[in-house]
Structure 1
Amino acid sequence: MIVSNTEKSIAFFTQVLQSFSVSRIVTVFSCSEARTLLLEQDFDLVVINAPLRDESGESLSRHIATKGISQVILVVKSEFYDEISDVVEDYGVITIEKPINKNHFWLALKLAKAAQNKLKSMQVENTKLLQKIEDIRIVDRAKCILISYLNMSESEAHKYIERQAMDTRTTKRAVAEGVLKTYES
């Protein structure tokens, strides 16, 4: 998404994004339009050409950066660059000063793409780890039930779940869910 208040800058950013093989480009002219659109859909990259009609763009960049995994490039006037970049860089916002040329913007895009790829891989890994934690919780609950209802020791309950998983060729979680279903009903 491109957020800018001038057609000329939108044309510039669109041209560079297209040469960077970005196929879906959405443009808006204000922060309020961008916020509304972001409620409906996610974007991998948001380019904000500050200042905008209704805000400076700094607040919007921080909002987007904290909301999800969108990469944000904030383009600001050179006299405000140091001050604004100090504030937004802690949120992961890439700041570029005006006047901007194609090469500088191209480098910012490459940096944003690399960060986006890293973030996506970390999100996938995080999802896998959360799933493992949930699996462990369910198996532990099932072990507690086996201990209390069938007077098994912790190691016996563990071995029982493992053995059932191997015998039925399912996961330990599936066996544990079966135990929970049987005894918690």
Structure 2
Amino acid sequence: MTGRAPIQPVLLHHITALDCARDGDFNVEVGPMATTDASAAQAKEPAATVRRVLVAEDDSLIRMDLIEMLREEGYDVVGEAPNGQVAVELTEELRPDLVIMDVKMPIRDGIDAAAEIASKRLAAVVMLTAFSQRDFVEKARDAGAMAYLVKPFTKADLVPTIEVAVSRYTELNVLERDVADLTERLEIRKLVERAKGILMESHSFSEPDAFKWIQRAAMDRRTTMKAVAEVVIETLGNKAK
């Protein structure tokens, strides 16, 4: 088989609320409502949002190559920085959707800069590194990075990593708006991650679509994402195994 695979039809999903209780718990049934052809789906979908990206890399050649890759893929590169300190300053000024940042840079390294950007909730961060050791991954995660890329990488690696990072960052912001307590927030995030995995396995959702489904179900039922996640785990968890 040659050529590009056909576009998968858009699958709309519905939620049926059953056995509502006073504590807000309910059972849900997830299933397809209808499918549409590709042209109808495209007509209904809003125009894709152009991601605004800041690139922080001290090697000018790598920085130029990365910027070229991003622009070829339709991203709007709003700024570039040669070190971590400039990256933080430009992020505060330009408020991009995403910062792609090298780990080892002069003046201020990427891990430290990423920690400040993440703590201030300025943008999603993707780290660039020449290493994939466990200690680096843990440091990047602890600093608040949403994803990382190991050099050298290709456009095929770059685009999915960016979209996953922005999706995770959006999810985190939604959860933090709903929950002030850090301990409870972490607990809810674990539940939501588990529920997302179940929906992805049992109903072939993408990761962003699984999160949107949970979020929409919570809004429709006027309950919390935690309650929806718990119901998904209880109702569909065994079926996904």
2:88 is matched with 35
Q: CA deviation at 1:21?
A: 2.2
CA contact (8 A) 2:67 2:77 kept: no
Pick from 10, 14, 28 the counterpart of residue 67 of structure 2: 14
Amino acid at match of 2:56: V
Which residue identity does 2:140 align to in structure 1?
A: V
Provide the C-alpha distance between the structure 1 equivalents of 2:93 and 2:151, rounded to a whole number of angstroms. Answer: 30
Q: Which runs of 5+ in 1 are unaligned?
A: 127-185
Q: Is 54-63 or 16-25 further displaced after alignment?
A: 16-25
Partner of residue 158, structure 2: 105
User: Aligned letter for 2:162?
Assistant: L
What does the per-residue CA deviation read over 1:31-52, in whole Å, with 9 as the maximum and x for residues that have no partner?
1212222343322100112311
Instruction: Give the TM-score taking structure 1 as reference length.
Output: 0.57
CA distance in 2: counterparts of 1:113 and 1:4, whole angstroms: 20
> What is the aligned partner in structure 1 of residue 127 from structure 2?
74
User: Which structure 2 residue ranges, 5 or more long, are not aligned?
Assistant: 1-53, 179-241
Give the letter aligned to residue 85 of structure 2: S
Question: 1:57 corresponds to which residue?
Answer: 110
Cα root mean square deviation, aligned: 2.6
TM-score between the two structures when normalised by the length of structure 2: 0.45
Rounded Cα–Cα distance in structure 1 between residues aligned with 2:105 and 2:158: 19
Task: After superposition, give the CA deviation of every residue in 1:135-181 in whole Å (9 maximum; x if it has no partner).
Answer: xxxxxxxxxxxxxxxxxxxxxxxxxxxxxxxxxxxxxxxxxxxxxxx
Structure 1 match to 2:138: 86
> Is the 1:2–1:46 Cα contact (8 Å) retained in structure 2?
yes
**Residue correspondences, number:** 126
Partner of 1:141: none
Partner amino acid, structure 1, of 2:164? L
**4+ runs deviating over 6 angstroms:** none
% identical equivalent positions:
15
One-letter code aligned to 1:41:
L
**Rg (Cα) greater in structure:** 1
Paired amino acid for 1:88: A
